Amino acid sequence: MKRLLLFTFIGILMFGCNSNEKEIPSGKMELTDGWARHGKAGMMSAAYFNLTNNTKKADTLISISSDVTHITQIHKSYQTEDGLMGMQEQAFVALPIGKTTSFEQGGLHVMIIQPERDLSDGDSVTLTLSFSSMDSLVVKLPVKTLSN
Amino acid sequence: MKYIQTILIIIISVILFSCQSGPKVIDDLSDTTFQLVNQDSVTVSFPDDYQGKYVVMGFIYTNCPDICPLITQNLIKIQRELGFPEDVQFLGITFDPERDTPSVLSDYKEVFKLNDNFDFLTGQPETVSAFMDSVRVRSQVSLTTITSDGKEIYFMNHSDKIMVLDKKSRVIIEYGGSMPQVPNLIIEDFQSLK
């Protein structure tokens, strides 16, 4: 009995100290408050959302694709040194454990370039988010019309 | 005697200062006329055609994915919060006239479901360039790419501005156009004007 307890104790210690093992995510990558802006085919649209890394591993968003266009890019709006507003394409977006990254107007955003169909109220846009570690996340975002 | 003279100067200064009613004029646009065209291909003489009205105007390009829609949304919010006043003309003026033709601007207006008091203006590139100089709006193409299927993708760096003109075409209000607090600031300014 004493020997069994000793082996169990050593086993727990060995398992607990095995830090090189790849951690298995217990939570999910969660996308909330998502929407895409209305637009006409061939014009420009954008998508916004909050992305929370609820897994147990830091990850990186490396690309996004969409069902309405062949060209989807991640950009960030910023102010240039001479006071103009510009955008910079982001090759990746770091997603720390437990943190929410906001894709919002005037900041990080997903550009839906030259959509192949009109995007109106009641429509939706499907995005596929690809990460460096976890499996892709497929989400359907409602199209929002911003008008009077 | 000198004491009385000083008092008189102070009194006159105070009276003159208090008589300067109305907002501070930032710029006067009434001296020059620009021949522009709206989304329905109707020629517009700016600012002459809007004399007698307030003008609230923002500067955009329709291929802009993020900042310009914010500017347009702010213009929309100002119009709505002011109760769609007939004596206030709302304008979105493009600094990308080569691509933003009247029909493109018509689509843009349709997408935002805007009313008759909200127009988008474009024009000949040299005229638009001179107009943008007069309102101190700068823009430059920051990236141009041609996709494998021959489509052009381009983006511009640009000024971020909403301006208000009084009924004599003088610039009396100017703010950053995409900032979320701008609609409330302009609405407050308008309330103090009327």
- A91 contacts chain B (CB < 8 A): no
| Average confidence (pLDDT) over B126-138 | 97
Is B160 in contact with A85 (Cβ distance < 8 A)?
A: yes
What separation in angstroms does the CA of B174 have from each of A106, A108, B171, B182, B194? 19, 26, 7, 10, 18
Place of tokens 């955008």: A87
Question: CA A71, A77, A78, A82: dihedral to nearest 10 degrees?
Answer: 70
pLDDT at position A91: 96
Share of chain A above pLDDT 90, in %: 77
- Cα gap B159→B162, rounded to integer Å: 10
Q: Considering only the beta carbons, identify the residue of B66, B84, B113 that sits closest to A109.
A: B66
pLDDT in tens, B10-66: 665 555 444 455 678 999 999 999 999 999 999 999 999 999 999 999 999 999 999
| Average confidence (pLDDT) over A15-37 | 68
Q: Which residues of B touch A86 (CB under 8 A)?
A: 142, 155, 157-158
- A20 contacts chain B (CB < 8 A): no
Residue B60: closest C-alpha in chain A:
A85
**Mean pLDDT, all residues of chain A:** 86
pLDDT in tens, A105-127: 999 999 999 999 999 989 999 99
Place of tokens 């050593």: A10
pLDDT at position A78: 95
SS (H, E, C) A29-82: EEEEEEEEECECCCCEEEEEEEEEECCCCCEEEEEEEECCCCEEEEEEEEECCC
| Average confidence (pLDDT) over A67-83 | 94
pLDDT at position A27: 77
| CB–CB contacts below 8 A, A to B | 86
pTM of the entire predicted model: 0.83
Is B140 in contact with A84 (Cβ distance < 8 A)?
A: yes
